[in-house]
Amino acid sequence: MEEIVKIKSVGNVTHDVKKFVVEKPLGYKFTPGHATEVSINKENWKDEKRPFTFTSLNEDDFLEFTIKIYPDHDGATEQLGKLKPGDELIVRDTWGAIEYKGPGYIIAGGAGITPYIAMLRDLNKKGKTEGMHLIFSNKTDKDIILKEELDSLLNKNTTYVITDQEDTKHTKAYLNEEFLKKEIKDLDKRFYVCGPPEMTEEISNILEKLGADTDAVQLDDQ
């Protein structure tokens, strides 16, 4: 299935992350945490498909994507960064590795937070965010996506980890075994992990080593 949708609005979320609000095709449905293959409806870009997670809710009458733009990659996200309201995208069937399976820890790196935004917004709407804790790693303070909203959704059950900024107001650390051992209080909880491929693999191995149930670890490379 391919549907052409018009962009309704484009806004800045951080210095290199944009929010795209687009039309929603009639009858289009998805589960919070799921994604679709998106391409730009322009010559030479129609077949350049990229997976993006919905950050809107299924009941919204629009689709929203929160996308990190990589201008130095000379690719699809650089082109997305140039789009304006009225331009068109192509969306396809929905799929996903991440969906809510019970309270636990979300461990995310950079744009790896995006599959959890709709999930947390949905849980908040249902009054079910109790027992969720976010550990969110970024290079610098200004890279943190939707910090105020995440603090609000999770009632401040949030730990922000910064790797590359000495004067950060948050925790200066890396998501290594020592840090996770100290931070995670309950290894019987469910773990949701998403970030660059090496990060998700490394964290999965650490959690396994610490004794977490691997069935409770959901991985998604972003």
Q: What topology is assigned to 104-221 in CATH? A: Rossmann fold (3.40.50)
Strand partners, 104: 190
Say how far apart CA 155 and CA 143 lie, in whole Å: 21
How far from 222 is each of 64, 98, 113, 165, 198, CA to CA, in Å? 17, 11, 9, 23, 11
Q: Report the CATH architecture of 2-95.
A: Beta Barrel (2.40)
Q: Classify residue 17 as exposed, middle or buried by CB count within 10 Å of its CB (0-12, 13-18, 19+).
A: buried
104-221 and 2-95 share a CATH fold: no
Instruction: Parse the chain into domains and list their residue ranges.
Output: 2-95, 104-221
Mean pLDDT of 85-113: 94
The average pLDDT across 8-21 equals 97
> What is this structure's pTM?
0.93
Given a cut of 80, whether residue 153 has pLDDT beyond it is yes
β partners of residue 159: 135
Closest CA relative to residue 136, chosen from 119, 116, 165, 152: 116
DSSP state of 200: H
- Residue 159 to residue 151: CA distance in whole angstroms: 9
Task: Kindly indicate the confidence band of residue 217, based on its pLDDT and cuts at 50, 70 and 90.
Answer: confident
Q: Read off the pLDDT of each residue in 106-123 and give the average, rounded to a whole number.
A: 95
